[in-house]
Amino acid sequence: MTSAKAILAAQCRELGRDLTFAEFSGTALYHPECGYYRKNRERVGRNEASDFFTSTSVGPVFGELVSAAAVSLLRSAGMDPAETAFVEIGAEPGQALILPDNASFQSVRSLAFGEKPVLSGLSVLYSNELFDAQPFHRLIFEDGVWRECGVRISPEGVITETRMPGLSAPMRAMTDRLPSAAGEGERLDLSPAATELLESLVSPAWNGLFLTFDYGRSWRELLDASPAGTARAYRRHRQHNDLTADPGEQDLTIHVCWDFLAGVLERHGFAEIGVTGQEAFFVNHAADAIAAIVADRPGEFNPRRRQLQQLLHPGAMGQKFQVLHGIRIKKSAKSHQPTAN
């Protein structure tokens, strides 16, 4: 058995029951000794040793567009980027966002996966594919009711999917949101942990811009357009559905629910909250940066234009990723807003 299987089997014995998928995925992803995201290894990139790539893997143009969009959003809200700290959370080894040398921010920090920021004053809190990597529950509609899926690990390391005898407390808290009827065998993958993470990040100690790039769908889309659920595994650049294979050795991820995360921002005083595709977000908020890249060295091959195409094209990353953003303005920030003549 792998060490992760041994730990999971021990958890089953100690609890005297099967594990919920949230307990299984929490250990598989975040156990301090054998969790996938706790290992000091390269997970993100384009080489054969990594498991998946993302927008940061494309090149420095992504950082330029993020910087330009953040500056635009701050200024439109009457905030000065030069008084604002840019803080990245959840950065993968070797994949921290590369901001341009002329970035307008007061300071720039990048925190590794698991490091919690301490924010104050004006800040940009940015992440890329952080919320889709949280532990998650699995529900399945069987015999007219929603049941919670579990995981059983035998002492010999054999892993099987099971059904829990009832809903766990986090899933019971969501029963009023669940549809009373669904197709037999339909699944829902839900991550209260993602919502809890965001709650912990948006304390009233700071104001400014929240900005995250991720896979996600609205609540209605999760119910209507994802009958098999959205959970999937990645290993060596191959996506598959065997979620319990080799725990601790593969990425497990689901689509986040944008409605749930946007609701957290709204409850904590954020305004101008929006969810758009990556292409639309950059076109709306980084148009000048895009135009400069397009106009650079016309008629010649330009790798920066190639990067731009990968990030914006609907068939590449332009619609694959979405962006959630919101602004929280402190009262004194109104003094920075332009006054009418």
CB 216 within 8 A of CB 258: yes
Rg (alpha carbons) of the chain, rounded to whole number: 21
Cα–Cα dist 240/145, whole Å: 27
- Phi, psi torsion values for 188, nearest 5 degrees: -130, 135
Cα distances (Å, whole numbers) of residue 195 to 65, 83, 198, 253, 266: 27, 29, 5, 15, 13
Give the model's pLDDT for residue 331. 62
**Rounded Cα–Cα distance for residues 232 and 234 (Å):** 7
CA 153 to chain centroid: 28
SS3 202: coil
- Low-confidence residues in the chain, pLDDT < 50: 1, 333-341
Indicate whether 221 belongs to any domain.
Answer: no
pLDDT number for residue 1: 47
The total number of residues shown for the chain amounts to 341
Contacts of 321 (CB under 8 A, 6+ apart): 54, 55, 213, 214, 215, 277, 278
CA 97 vs CA 112, 124, 317, 340: distances in Å: 11, 13, 17, 37
In a domain, 11, yes or no: no
Please give the Cα distance from 77 to 79 (Å, whole number): 6
- Cα 148 to Cα 140, 185, 240, 254, 316, distances in angstroms: 6, 12, 21, 16, 34
Q: Return d(Cα 47, Cα 39) in angstroms, integer.
A: 18
| 8 A C-beta contact, residue 176 and residue 143 | no
pLDDT (0 to 100) of residue 336: 42
Cβ distance 149 to 138 under 8 Å? yes
CB 255 within 8 A of CB 218: no
280: Cβ contacts below 8 Å, ≥ 6 apart = none
Domain count, the chain: 1
What are the tens digits of pLDDT across the range 64-104? 999 999 999 999 999 999 999 999 999 887 788 889 888 89
Q: b/e map of 16-28 (b: 16 or more CB within 10 Å)?
A: eebbbbbbbbbbb
Q: Which domain holds residue 265?
A: 43-134+199-215+255-334
| Within a domain: 229 | no
Q: Are 65 and 99 contacting, i.e. CB atoms less than 8 angstroms apart?
A: no
pTM of the full predicted structure?
A: 0.91
* Residue 267 within a domain: yes
Is 38 part of a structural domain of the chain? no
Q: 88 is written with which tokens? A: 């990245």
The CATH number that applies at residue 113 is 3.40.50.12710
Tell me the C-alpha distance between 291 and 27, whole Å. 45
Is 230 domain-assigned?
A: no
Please report the pLDDT score of residue 2 as a whole number.
60
Any domain includes 325: yes
Q: Is residue 156 part of a domain?
A: no
End-to-end CA distance of the chain: 73
